[in-house]
Chains A and B, each alone.
Chain A
Amino acid sequence: MTVDAAPDPFVVAGTELGSRLLLGTGGMTSPESLGRALVASGTVLATVALRRVDPSTRHSLVDLLEGLGIRILPNTAGCFTAAEAVLTARLAREAFATDWVKLEVIGDDRTLLPDPIELVDAAEQLVDDGFTVLPYCGDDPVVARRLEQVGCAAVMPLGSPIGSGLGIRNPHNIELIVEQAGVPVVLDAGIGTASDACLAMELGCSAVLVASAVTLAEDPELMAGAMREAVRAGRAARRAGRISRRFVAQASSSFEGLVGR
């Protein structure tokens, strides 16, 4: 049910996406439960990784996503250099016939934090090669601006490290990134539960990407639905305009006509 009927399209590189929730596909126990979570999330864009063919695998992730009408967003997860990420993106373009890529260039295998120097380098090369680049980046407003300057179609700052479920550790930086950005800001990584996704939207993000919080939840399908509602609620709250914070109370009932005075 939608109370607010005003159009509020989410557009990336000229393409309108019908959902502000992007889903990662990693970590699920079975293709069936992944399928149910994808449907419950309402997503129209899901990330996949690119890996060596395993001849023993029977199910096809591509067929699953295609069957659900969900667009594939290939990622470059696991790449540590610009060169690896560029080759992976080119393979993904060939495999899935899409020039969209979630660009990840990791700088540290314990925290999985992005390497900003390799990231900007890879982003520039891929933009020059005609890709629509959605880079996973730190919550550094300067790096986000650099990525936009080299032509990225969105920026995807982390809330906290991948898979940590620690939520948004620096909301102020996310607000700074949103405030300066001329492209959509997608909160990527660190979401632990629905309130984190809601907060991301309240801070002004255009969308949220969630993976582990859904796929590793006890009930992924139920969590996917919760995320969907959280993203909607957060977006509506952002558009509605929250009240400013006050140090002390402000009565919401008038004192006029008070009994006995």
Chain B
Amino acid sequence: MTHGPHRRVVVTVNGEAYEAVPGATVADLVAAWCRSPKGVAVAVDGTVVPRSEWDATSMAPGSTVEVVTAAAGG
């Protein structure tokens, strides 16, 4: 199996390089990274992606993605 450079979708997720399958959406990424999508939010390149748009938003190569959830805090 060969991948041309244009086929690879390498994004940065929470500061780590991550290779997503071509065509992967934000919903796919959340499924890969989180035990449950509950209480999770995603920002791509500094902009929040609303939950309702997770399925329709595919990952562009080179994107910076933050996947966040609740942590104990004052």
Contact = CB atoms under 8 A, between A and B. Distances in A.
Contact of A94 (B33, B35, B48, B72): B48
Interface string B28-52: 0000011110111111001010110
Interface range on chain A: under 10, 10 to 19, 20 to 34, or 35 or more?
Answer: 35 or more
Contacts of A90: 43, 48
A51 B71 contact: yes
Interface string B54-74: 000000000000111111111
A95 B72 contact: no
Contacts, number: 103
A26 B74 contact: yes
A48 B70 CA distance: 6
A77 interface: yes
B50 A96 contact: no
Given A87-B48, A91-B43, A52 B67 contact: yes
A61 B70 contact: yes
B25 to A, nearest CB: 16
A34 B67 contact: no
Contacts of A34: 72
Interface in B3-36: 14-15, 33-36
Contacts of A197: none
Question: A interface, by DSSP: helix, strand, loop or mixed?
Answer: mixed
Interface in A20-78: 24-28, 34, 47-53, 55, 57-58, 60-63, 72, 74-75, 77
A50 B41 CA distance: 9
Contact of A95 (B14, B33, B68, B73): B68
Interface of A: 24-28, 34, 47-53, 55, 57-58, 60-63, 72, 74-75, 77, 87, 90-96, 162-163, 189, 209, 211-212
Given A51-B71, A55-B35, 15 more contacts: A26-B72, A47-B74, A49-B72, A50-B69, A53-B14, A53-B68, A55-B34, A60-B36, A60-B39, A61-B70, A72-B70, A75-B73, A95-B68, A95-B69, A163-B74
